[in-house]
Amino acid sequence: MPHASAAAVAATTDPEAASLPVGALPATRLAVLGAGAWGTVLARTLAMNGHTVRLWCRRPERAEAIAARRCNAAYLPDLPLPATLQATADLADAVHDVEAAVVAVPSHAVESVMQRLPAVPALVSASKGFVSDQLTRVTEVLQRVHPESLVAVLSGPTIAAEVARDLPAAVTVASDDADLARLLQGWFGRPTFRVYVSRDVNGVEACGALKNVIALAAGMSDGLGLGANARAALVTRGLAELVRVGAALGGEPRTFYGLAGVGDLVATCSSTRSRNHQVGERIARGEAVTDIQASGVTAEGLATVRHVVPFADATAIELPICREVHRVTYEGKAPAEAISDLMTRAPRDE
Amino acid sequence: MPHASAAAVAATTDPEAASLPVGALPATRLAVLGAGAWGTVLARTLAMNGHTVRLWCRRPERAEAIAARRCNAAYLPDLPLPATLQATADLADAVHDVEAAVVAVPSHAVESVMQRLPAVPALVSASKGFVSDQLTRVTEVLQRVHPESLVAVLSGPTIAAEVARDLPAAVTVASDDADLARLLQGWFGRPTFRVYVSRDVNGVEACGALKNVIALAAGMSDGLGLGANARAALVTRGLAELVRVGAALGGEPRTFYGLAGVGDLVATCSSTRSRNHQVGERIARGEAVTDIQASGVTAEGLATVRHVVPFADATAIELPICREVHRVTYEGKAPAEAISDLMTRAPRDE
């Protein structure tokens, strides 16, 4: 267990309908690793709840800029950051004496950051992606490199720019350790940021990773101007792909149909603010993936789909949308042809 | 069975992965009852597939206008209608010698239209709503008034204005009679209008009705400017309400998570072209429901929610979103307060 009084928390909560009053936990020290938009917004959320938060930035100049201007100019130039949020480029300094560290670096960087990280009582993944062709989940990496830490995942429909504006959002926190999940619920929970608790780490992570690939497809469909019906059909057939992959990784049906599954899928596929959706649109409008990546845009779906297709080959799980996204992004297929091939598959019993 | 050669169709189709070539069925005579946007678009779709289609209009002047101008100026002024689509205000004339009639009138008008309708081999509901506080489904009315007819339902994510532009869409047709479902698949199916087959009439209809209430809530959320995260959370919690009502009415889980369930929910909740979504937005911006209705707008969700709340009372099924929509639309509650109450319910295990 982390240092905080988890027993006290557990005593106040009923496992069936646990209702933890927002702000019920004493303020503590927490770290967020990764100063992208989502890491910054999560750090701000924790700081606004009264916690002392250190935000680790890979680049020293970004840490200095945040310290000097009290905002993350690269991602959220209009968002003032609380004084209790301190930026640092020193990983050991970031996690010194913290109760938990939230990992919000791109999934491909998780392993190397974990290798350099000192021991931390609890590690919380906020990264959405797989890290190998066997669809290794991010918390598996956290646990392998840091067997001494408790691990959890935070996921759900969370367009960062909206959470930054304090618009309402609801997320899921999942952990094998119920006490850690309750602590996270208390640390993060605000009237505009609802935190639901789950035990299904595998399912939550599978959904969070795969939905980015479906969002690329939805972005392509929107970029081609195909409308809400086509997008809804893609989301529905995409949900079926989430369910198949999630089940193969040991996830539970209720997760696929909850906030971390259908919720995140819907938000990512229908918001023009979602990075993966934006990249799908740009591809549909003729931009090359290599050019988009060269412009500095990170869309997790582009990395995830490279892992998902070999997995589909190895397991014979049917993932037609993922396969078409891979054909478009890495095999030169025209987006219009890919979407058309998806829409004109022979009609079947549903 | 309707007149057409269902046996021939059945022989060409494998029940597990039935693939019926588009246009494989001989052209026939069909009727569509109700010349709203959706009825008109369905009639056009059938006519474009080579069938002779009669479109019944409640008002003679509309039938005359369609005959004169070859378009439905009230709903789809820019959509030319094929010459094989004939409009009539005479119900007996509309269904004379047809193989099937598609019922696309508002759900509150279904009973009276059915009472006046001569016998027809097959009746297909394209109306999305309940017709009583016991959540009587539209096909139950069709079957009660016309026990001699086979019945089916057609549903799914189908914003009419998009289907009118031949943008891709996918729908579900459900019937207890598998042969009728296959015929409908053949009659309606086009490269841009994919038709999937199901046996779960109850589930398909429950989803089609309830999603309109959730769309009112999503429209209110969007009207209040709450963003994609809030809308996605509403859609997710709304899906749970669809599942609870659908299960109570005997529907199957795969339906709730398919095109007629999550698909239609996503399209209706995320398209500004959805009537129910539009009405939700107008309510959020301060318009009174009575004024909106007086302006001639029909949003099925407004009628459906009046039936759903007594049902929830009688069955003790938890439907918090439906209840809040009812409070806003008929009990004078402020939309912002209703959405806030939904978002700030005590956090629970998901």
Q: Mean of the per-residue pLDDT values for chain A?
A: 91
B4 vs B247: which has the higher pLDDT: B247
pLDDT (0 to 100) of residue A180: 97
Q: Is B50 exposed, middle or buried (0-12, 13-18, 19+ CB in 10 A)?
A: middle
Whether A347 and B197 lie within 8 Å, measured CB to CB:
yes
Residue of B236, B244, B318 to mutate for A, most A C-beta atoms under 10 A: B236
Is residue B261 scored above 70 in pLDDT? yes
User: What mean pLDDT do residues B53-67 have?
Assistant: 97
Whether the predicted pLDDT of A168 surpasses 60 = yes
Mean pLDDT over A273-277 rounds to 92
The continuous run of DSSP H or E covering A183 comes out as: helix A178-188
Which residue blocks in B6-123 are alpha helix, DSSP H? 6-12, 37-48, 60-69, 91-95, 110-116
Q: What confidence tier does B9 reach under pLDDT thresholds 50, 70, 90?
A: very low
- Confidence class of residue A248 from pLDDT cuts 50, 70 and 90? very high
Residue listed under structure tokens 């022989």? B11
In the predicted model, what is the mean pLDDT of residues B283-292? 94
**Is B348 in contact with A19 (Cβ distance < 8 A)?**
yes
Average pLDDT of the segment spanning A120-132: 96
Residue B25: its pLDDT value, please? Answer: 74
pLDDT at B13: 30
Prediction ipTM score? 0.90
Q: What pLDDT, on the 0 to 100 scale, is given for residue A1?
A: 40
d(CA B29, CA B44): 13
By residue count, chain A amounts to 350
With a cut of 50, say whether residue A8 has pLDDT above it: no
Nearest to B109 by CA among B47, B68, B56: B56
Distance CA A217, CA A309 (A): 15
Residue A334 has pLDDT above 80, yes or no: yes
Given A128, A146, A182, A211, the catalytic residue: A211
Please give the residue that has the higher pLDDT: either A23 or B57.
Answer: B57
pLDDT at A116 over 70: yes
Number of Cβ pairs closer than 8 Å across A and B?
A: 214
Number of other residues whose CB lies within 10 A of the CB of residue B178:
17
* Nearest CA distance, A15 vs chain B (angstrom): 8
pLDDT at B93 > cutoff 60: yes
Q: What is the mean pLDDT of residues B226-234?
A: 95
Rounded Cα–Cα distance for residues B307 and B314 (Å): 11
The CA-to-CA distance between both ends of chain A, in Å, stands at 46
Tell me the C-alpha to C-alpha distance, in Å, between residue A319 and each of A214, A312, B171, B176: 10, 7, 20, 30
d(CA B56, CA B77): 18
Closest partner residue to B350 among A169, A172, A347, by Cβ? Answer: A172
CB contact under 8 A, A189 and B347: yes
Question: What pLDDT, on a 0 to 100 scale, did the predictor assign at position A12?
Answer: 29
> Per the residue annotation, which of B128, B182, B211, B277 is the catalytic one?
B211
Task: Determine the pLDDT at residue B271.
Answer: 87
Query: Residue B85 contacts by C-beta under 8 Å, 6 or more apart in sequence?
Result: B43, B44, B46, B47, B53, B54, B55
pLDDT in tens, A179-205: 999 999 999 999 899 999 999 999 999
pLDDT (0 to 100) of residue A3: 41
- Asked if the Cβ–Cβ distance from B350 to A197 is below 8 Å, we say yes
Instruction: With CB atoms and an 8 Å threshold, state whether A343 touches B262.
Output: no
Q: Is A197 helix (H, G, I), strand (E, B) or coil?
A: strand
Among this protein's residues, is B333 annotated catalytic? no
Q: In this structure, are strands A52-56 and B122-125 parallel, antiparallel, or unpaired?
A: unpaired
Per-chain mean pLDDT for chain B: 91
pLDDT digits (tens, 9 = 90+) for B160-182: 999 999 999 999 999 999 999 99
Per-residue pLDDT at A5 exceeds 60: no
- At residue A23 the predicted structure's pLDDT band, cuts being 50, 70 and 90, is low
Distance from CA of A296 to the nearest CA of B (A): 25
Helix, strand or coil, per DSSP, at residue A97: coil
State the pLDDT confidence band at A346, using cuts at 50, 70 and 90.
Answer: low
Q: Which residue in the set A194, A344, A350 is minimally distant from B343, CB to CB?
A: A194
pLDDT of residue A19: 43
For range B277-298, the mean pLDDT: 93
pLDDT classification of B340: cutoffs 50, 70, 90: confident
Helix extents (H) in chain B: 6-12, 37-48, 60-69, 91-95, 110-116, 138-145, 160-164, 178-188, 201-223, 227-248, 253-256, 264-270, 275-284, 289-294, 300-315, 320-330, 335-343
In the β-sheet with A169-174, what is the strand arrangement from edge to edge?
A85-88, A52-56, A29-33, A100-103, A122-125, A150-155, A169-174, A193-198
Split at pLDDT 50, 70, 90, the class of A296 is confident
Name every chain A residue with its beta carbon within 8 A of the beta carbon of B227. 159, 162, 165, 167-168, 271
A231 has a pLDDT exceeding 50: yes
pLDDT reported for residue B156: 96
